[in-house]
Amino acid sequence: MKNRKYLQAVASFVVGFTFALGLSISGMTQPSKVLGFLTWDENWDPTLIFVMLGAIPVHAITYYLARKRKSPLLDSEWHVPTATKISKELVIGSALFGVGWGLAGYCPGPALTSVGSGSLQAVYFVGAMMAGMFAHQLFKKSFSK
């Protein structure tokens, strides 16, 4: 069991590092690239489309092949979300995510990757993101009583 946890941690690190490397190489850690895609004017930057066109098929094929297995390689069962209801919280959270992404040019993955590069803007964004997560937990607890 202890060996499995170690392998899970190593695999998580390798996957996270690979994802961060891909974000960095593709330029998706630069808010100007994302904002350039979201701004439909003469300076429009279609780079994000090409990143998605490369990533989506790789994910789809890998996910299809992985789900044919009874369980993941390093766990005894799949941990797939089962919720199907579109809740008020989901809609509000999605809207906030979209507004934040459009205003800042960051979403969580690229922001965390950018913190590693020493970007002060990313540090502020991640700090605000974490404060928002903390506030959500407090809000959720106070209304569930």
Look at the chain and report how many structural domains it folds into.
1
Sequence-distant (6+) residues with CB within 8 A of 67 are 78
Q: Tell whether the model's pLDDT for residue 131 goes beyond 80.
A: yes
| pLDDT digits 0-9 by tens, 74-105 | 999 999 889 899 998 889 889 988 998 888 88
Domain hosting 77: range is: 2-144
3-class secondary structure, 113? helix
How far, in Å, are 20, 66, 80, 87 from residue 84 at the CA level? 30, 22, 12, 9
Rg (CA), the chain: 18
- 145 pLDDT tier (thresholds 50, 70, 90): low
* The token pair that represents 105 in the structure block: 């040019």
Condensed to tens digits (0 to 9), the pLDDT of residues 1-46 reads 678 889 999 999 999 999 999 989 988 899 998 889 988 899 899 9
What per-residue confidence (pLDDT) applies to 100? 86
